[in-house]
Structure 1
Amino acid sequence: MTRKPTIIDVAKKAGVSKSTVSLVLRNSPTIRDETRELVRSAMRDLGYVYNRSAANMRSSNAGLIGLVINDLRNPFFTEFATSLQMALAEKSYATVLANTDEDAELQAQVVSSMIEHGVSALIICPAYGSTQDTFDSIARAGIPVMQMLRRVDSRTDLFPFTAPDYVTGSRLATEHLVAQGAQNIAFVGGLEGRSVTEERMSGYLSVMNASGKEPIILNGESSRKFGRDVAHRLAQDHPDVDGVVCFNDLVALGLSSGCNEIGRCVGKDVIIVGFDNIEDAAETYPSLSSVGYDIASIGAQTAETVLSWLESGQVPEAETRKPVELFVRQSSGGSR
């Protein structure tokens, strides 16, 4: 090489990102020993000399955190992203935000771009799909990364996972419907085979089995449209269903609308519980019972956890579950 080697040359030779090389040069505790040695070996081979004074002038991205959200159209994820961004801002960190629209390919692109632009850490509410290459590249970057609300990569020692206690939540919802006198209870929404769907169904299935009731499961898109369509399907194919646990509040709100459309009184003819306790749950009519958790607190705690990891090398637990509670409202709390 005739010209003076650059940090980009080092990154290419070591097979890591530019931001990873920067972290090695700054002696960041977040870089694994094998990655550190790989970068230093590339520096020796290329004859790269670190100009610390110049680097200090280029450190404007040191306080930048990447936040990747799977679906910002969903009010729940919007609430989470807002609370997290505000918590990071209070600690003087800027947030670069990307919406992947449930597209794993787009997710790979935005993650790669964020790493190349020098984010200090990543917080990802991941899209489903082919994600291993994406997480492999994040591992090579050697920066703190957390999976939030969904787990798509099982390597939680590298990518710690935080989410509410979905299993307990669906159990509380189903037990409530049984206590309210519902005889035929369905679970509606959530794409089949997804880990979050399986968890949110798990509590429902345990209560149904314990009470000797036959499960009725209608999986599908987590949207208002799907919920509204299911109201018609239930009336035609399962007219005896008088209680429904929904995958999320969007499905529940759509179901409530569809039931009212066909003349089934929500809260009397059919009782419904949603999941996530978005703001609309309390503001709609009839108000929606929902399993909820303090999303602002989760955002603040996530910010604290990531910054402790970034600044002091305190690696979080591989998996953390946050407590949930059931908010009983008109859709399931009235007299039957």
Structure 2
Amino acid sequence: MKKRPTILDVADKAGVSKSTVSLVLQNSPSVKQTTREDVNRAINDLGYVYNRSAAGLRGAASGLIGLIINDLRNPFFTEFAASAQMEFARKGYSTVIANTDEDPDIQAQVIGSMIEHGVSAFVISPAYGGCDSDFDRIERAGIPTMQVLRQIDQRTDLFPFASHNYTAGGELAARHLLDIGCRKIAFVGGLKDRPITRERMSGYSAVMETSGLPAQTFHGRPSRAFGRELALRIAAEYPDIEAAICFSDLVALGMISGFAEAGVEVGKDVRLVGFDDIEESSLVYPRLTSVRCDTQLFGQSAAQAMLAWIVDGERPPDVRYHDVHLIERQSSVGA
């Protein structure tokens, strides 16, 4: 007996993903007309019959995107998630968002749950400390998946990775501080040996080495609390430090508070540069100089890349780094 054609057979013949075929079968408005015609032609050629009852039992989950974020308490990640979700919504997709709170066990649980509920794709900013089995499970399920902002799985041929050019950001920040006369410049925040910390430090370290200046680092959780505590410590123990490049704006905002408490004037006695350029950077006093990672644009871009993959079969590049820019404000250049 001749084997009954499956949805995978249709996808192969049409040159698209299984998710795209599902969207065509459910008359999703997000599918381009040319793609819809290719899929329908493959359906007719193969004699594929869509079992709507069986599809109903699996749940009407086609067109649902799983967006998994490592820390939604951080405004940087919140802005990314909101931007990506809105872009998916504009194209007719719903998004289920999960916060893993940097817990790999929670990450494994939500990935499993979303697979069971039939998401069409994953966009994941992964928690550190997880294992490859999470992504192995996604691979077995055949679900298109992008890693964003953090790369945990090295198989970018399976799970493309997109982020910002953090190395360039560190270089921009260090050269800016050197240009305004600072020589004793520290890098503050970020947990030691984490890839994201090394990326954000690397540009700073290279510039300091090229300039023949010593690098000085203070590692810790990228939080306001750590920034405040470190500012108080620097004021008391390292009064010769002229400037600091912070792992994140949250660390820098904490340092502004700590230095104010210690009677040190930011922008005059000590210069600060943050990383991310979250909204509060332009609202705090003194306003914070920061490496802008255009998170809103990045979220839109990531969503568009995923939609091109699942709708049109246009897979994102294995690795893509988005440009960053330095926004100069009072915390480094003064009033």
- Aligned amino acid, residue 334 of structure 1: G
Displacement of 1:333 in angstroms is 1.4
The equivalent residue for 2:11 is: 27
Displacement of 1:131 in angstroms is 2.5
Displacement of 1:303 in angstroms is 1.1
CA distance in 2, matches of 1:325, 1:23: 45
The equivalent residue for 1:12 is: none
Map 1:214-253 → 2, pairs under 5 A: 214-253=214-253
The equivalent residue for 2:291 is: 291
How much identity, in percent, do the aligned residues show?
51
The C-alpha deviation readout for 1:123-170, integer Å capped at 9, x for no partner, is 001110022111111111111100111111111111111001000001
Displacement of 1:94 in angstroms is 0.1
Whether the 8 Å contact between 1:30 and 1:142 is mirrored in structure 2 is no
The equivalent residue for 2:311 is: 311
- Aligned amino acid, residue 230 of structure 1: L
The equivalent residue for 2:154 is: 154
CA distance in 2, matches of 1:160, 1:244: 33
- Aligned amino acid, residue 270 of structure 1: V
CA distance in 2, matches of 1:184, 1:238: 10
The equivalent residue for 2:51 is: 52
The equivalent residue for 2:91 is: 91
Whether the 8 Å contact between 1:80 and 1:295 is mirrored in structure 2 is yes
Gaps of 5+ in 1: 1-21, 32-49
Find the residue that maps to 1:297 and give its secondary structure: helix
Displacement of 1:27 in angstroms is 3.5
Find the residue that maps to 2:282 and give its secondary structure: helix
Find the residue that maps to 2:71 and give its secondary structure: coil
Q: Aligned residue pairs: how many?
A: 297
Map 1:8-157 → 2, pairs under 5 A: 24=8, 27=11, 29-30=16-17, 52-55=51-54, 57=56, 60-157=60-157
- Aligned amino acid, residue 52 of structure 2: S
Report the CA distance shift for 1:228/1:205 in structure 2 as closer, same or farther (over 3 A): same
Displacement of 1:260 in angstroms is 0.8
Whether the 8 Å contact between 1:84 and 1:299 is mirrored in structure 2 is yes
- Aligned amino acid, residue 332 of structure 1: S
266-275 or 292-301, which moves further after superposition? 292-301
Whether the 8 Å contact between 1:147 and 1:162 is mirrored in structure 2 is yes
CA distance in 2, matches of 1:69, 1:224: 20
The equivalent residue for 1:202 is: 202
Displacement of 1:276 in angstroms is 0.3
CA distance in 2, matches of 1:110, 1:140: 16
Gaps of 5+ in 2: 1-5, 19-48
CA distance in 2, matches of 1:26, 1:53: 16
Displacement of 1:65 in angstroms is 0.2
CA distance in 2, matches of 1:192, 1:158: 28
Displacement of 1:23 in angstroms is 6.5
Find the residue that maps to 1:73 and give its secondary structure: coil
The equivalent residue for 1:274 is: 274
- Aligned amino acid, residue 91 of structure 2: K
- Aligned amino acid, residue 27 of structure 1: A
The equivalent residue for 1:190 is: 190
CA distance in 1, matches of 2:153, 2:185: 32
CA distance in 1, matches of 2:72, 2:176: 30
- Aligned amino acid, residue 122 of structure 1: F
CA distance in 2, matches of 1:295, 1:282: 15
CA distance in 2, matches of 1:159, 1:300: 18
- Aligned amino acid, residue 319 of structure 2: E
TM-score scaled by structure 2?
0.85
Displacement of 1:250 in angstroms is 0.2
Find the residue that maps to 2:11 and give its secondary structure: coil
The equivalent residue for 1:327 is: 327
CA distance in 1, matches of 2:325, 2:107: 32
Report the CA distance shift for 1:142/1:273 in structure 2 as closer, same or farther (over 3 A): same
Displacement of 1:294 in angstroms is 2.0
The equivalent residue for 2:21 is: none
CA distance in 2, matches of 1:89, 1:102: 26
Report the CA distance shift for 1:325/1:318 in structure 2 as closer, same or farther (over 3 A): same
- Aligned amino acid, residue 317 of structure 1: P
Displacement of 1:78 in angstroms is 0.5
Structure 1 runs of 4+ aligned residues shifted over 4 Å read 56-59
Find the residue that maps to 2:198 and give its secondary structure: helix
197-206 or 53-62, which moves further after superposition? 53-62
Query: Could you say what the CA RMSD is over the residues aligned between the two structures, in angstroms?
Result: 1.8
Find the residue that maps to 1:72 and give its secondary structure: coil
Find the residue that maps to 1:245 and give its secondary structure: strand
- Aligned amino acid, residue 115 of structure 2: I
